[in-house]
Amino acid sequence: MPKPQPPVQKNETVTLTFEDLTHEGNGVGKVDGYPLFVPYGLPGEKARVKVIKVKKNFGFGKLIEVEKESEDRVTPPCDVYYQCGGCQLQHMSYSRQLAMKKGQVENVMKKIGHLEHVPVHDPIGMNDPWRYRNKIQIPVGEKENGELKTGFYQKRSHNIIDMDTCLIQDEPNDRMVEAVRRIATELGIDAYHEESHRGVLRHIMVRTGQQTGDIMVVLVTRTKKLPYQDKLIERITEAYPNVKSIVHNVNKDKTNVILGKETNVIYGDQYIYDTIGDIKFMISAKSFYQVNPTQTKALYDKALEYAELRGGETVIDAYCGIGTISLFLAEAAKKVYGVEIVPDAVNDAKKNARLNNIDNAEFYVGEAEKIMPWWRKQGLRPDVIVVDPPRKGCDEALLTSMLEMEPERIVYVSCNPSTLARDLRILEDGGYETQEVQPVDQFPQTNHVECVSWLEKK
């Protein structure tokens, strides 16, 4: 018996009504029950769509014309939104963005974690969901006339979209990128060419302390020497006295990784400073520091609320990074033990503890799943464990270690709802009960969402 063919063909134009959104923010419409995923489509809209890819059970389309618009459709304020791959949701009202993210979390809780009973709250959003990022790292290219250009890559390509501003970046980041690009052009510094692996300037990174006004500029080059280094420093610092640090990073490799191994401070200090709440942080060129401090404060306040610390508890912070969550916990706990695999991050965590006169937090280098069983053998019994893993979620051995330590409470901070749901299922099966999940909109205008989850020992 021949297999049934999809009801659409590639390059065919169809009219459909969008019924739903994917976790990436694409509209979902059906033709005779066959789903088509279409960027920029919104639920309730009727639209003409060109079919661009056909698979057995679903296909992909391109939005040609919206015949009936959703009230959630807005005009993106960014001139290059439809070319640039940095944001995915600017065509969507902010209230719809938050509703979409809540639906995304509820969906994975149900389908992956089988945790339909767990309350998922409305996301904590921003009063002003623009200009929030304190760090930009942007590739450098060349125009036909030889001038340098900077911009993010076009979707699914390495073509640089020339742009003067990015509306989710802190304004000083925009100004500094523009200044460095202009000065480097005037001095005759060449852009790096990816195809030939020639040229000099690969990326410009700018980090800002939103509370302090400190600025760090990082210049990433293919070459060990930064041409016209002294003139570049002189002109940048004359124009922008808030620049506290200029760093030269060398990346000789043919790679998509932005920063290379060699980093040299060529002006000012190794660190800039910023504060989240009452805690002050030292930030180096390679430090992992949350890019949206306003929402990070909301995230950490919720994590502290879930930890229910009263002053006598012992807490483990797995994946502690530069100590951001650990130091908040230390203000309310008896003792905090942080563990992190990156040695530089642990050194920064220790410095940040000293900077804030916090002496009840200790930091260790290593894999949490190996360090925690050793702590357990030494007799360490935590009351609370806090985890904030990378997108891949917790290592299975770490989840096992957490269960063996039997804390009263687990607080799980996640940047990936799918791996969060998977790990919560494992922790539930191991004797814990998920009380609630609080999404936090850490990255407005994009399809990413952070969550904080609270688990109690059964």
Positions marked catalytic: 415
Contact between residue 328 and residue 297 where contact means Cβ atoms under 8 Å apart: no
**In Å, what is the CA distance from 149 to each residue of 164, 186, 247?**
9, 13, 20
**Vertex 140 angle, CA 261 and 78, to 5°:** 120
Note the Cα 445 to chain centre separation in Å: 12
* DSSP 3-state percent helix, strand, coil across the chain (nearest 5): 25, 30, 45
Q: How far apart are alpha carbons 366 and 364 in whole angstroms? A: 6
Alpha helices, H only, 395-436:
396-405, 417-429
Q: What is the radius of gyration, based on Cα positions, of the chain?
A: 24
Contact between residue 305 and residue 317 where contact means Cβ atoms under 8 Å apart: no
Q: What is the DSSP letter of 204?
A: E
Q: How far apart are alpha carbons 306 and 436 in whole angstroms? A: 9
